């Protein structure tokens, strides 16, 4: 079941997101960034601020009272920004991510937004290919990767974002 996340879900979301992107647990799934980045993917404080902003929606995928997936959706001008698509590492390739993408499209349509955009780290070729199979196209736009106290780059190569988009309707 996919529903909107609330402040009560912060702790569970934080654990899920960090387990899927960073550290040893993330290596069970194919979406890990553990070979590229160290540090946390997010914090409870960051998630609280995110949920409290009315332009943001975090959708959660719940099964047996456990959050097994989520996605962040941000209203930006004439588009919906999609980020932090997360599926529990043990459950990747089970269709959860695809269902969250489909729900994001429904959300964009409901807001009257004609497209969804996202940024993906350029070296994540498998992930980019998956998004392309789901209708996203490379816009040709590149953005620098922000290195901060949270996102600590450990990759050999310099990191940058590829901007992908999908037109809705």
Domains (range + CATH), the chain: 2-167 (3.40.630.30)
55 Rama class: left (phi>0) / alpha (psi -120 to 50) / beta: alpha
Contact present, 137 and 164 (Cβ < 8 Å): yes
95 Rama class: left (phi>0) / alpha (psi -120 to 50) / beta: left
Average pLDDT score over residue span 78-104: 91
pLDDT for res 38 = 53
Q: What is the pLDDT of residues 105-115, one digit of tens each?
A: 999 999 999 99
Q: What is the pLDDT of residues 11-49, one digit of tens each?
A: 999 999 888 766 565 555 556 554 555 556 678 888 999
Average pLDDT score over residue span 92-96: 88
pLDDT for res 31 = 60
Query: Three-state SS for 107?
Result: helix
- Average pLDDT taken over every residue of the chain: 85
Contact present, 44 and 5 (Cβ < 8 Å): no
Average pLDDT score over residue span 132-146: 92
pLDDT for res 98 = 95
pLDDT for res 28 = 58
Burial class (CB in 10 A: 0-12, 13-18, 19+), 55: exposed
For residue 103, name the pLDDT band (cuts at 50, 70, 90).
Answer: very high
Average pLDDT score over residue span 139-161: 72
Please give the model's pTM, rounded to 2 decimal places: 0.84
């Amino acid at each position: 079941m996919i529903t909107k996340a609330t402040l009560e879900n912060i702790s569970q979301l934080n654990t899920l997101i960090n387990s899927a992107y960073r550290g040893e647990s993330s290596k069970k799934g194919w979406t890990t960034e553990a070979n590229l980045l160290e540090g946390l993917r997010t914090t409870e404080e960051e998630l609280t601020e995110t949920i409290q902003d009315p332009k943001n929606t975090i959708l959660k995928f719940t099964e047996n009272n456990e959050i097994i997936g989520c996605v962040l959706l941000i209203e930006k001008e004439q588009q919906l920004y999609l980020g932090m698509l997360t599926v529990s590492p043990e459950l990747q390739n089970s269709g959860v991510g695809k269902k969250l993408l489909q729900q994001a499209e429904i959300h964009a349509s409901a807001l009257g937004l004609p497209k969804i955009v996202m940024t993906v780290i350029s070296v994540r070729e498998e992930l980019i290919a998956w998004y392309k199979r789901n209708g996203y196209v490379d816009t040709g736009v590149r953005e620098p990767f922000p290195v901060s106290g949270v996102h600590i780059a450990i990759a050999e190569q310099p990191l940058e974002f590829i901007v992908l988009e999908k037109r809705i309707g």
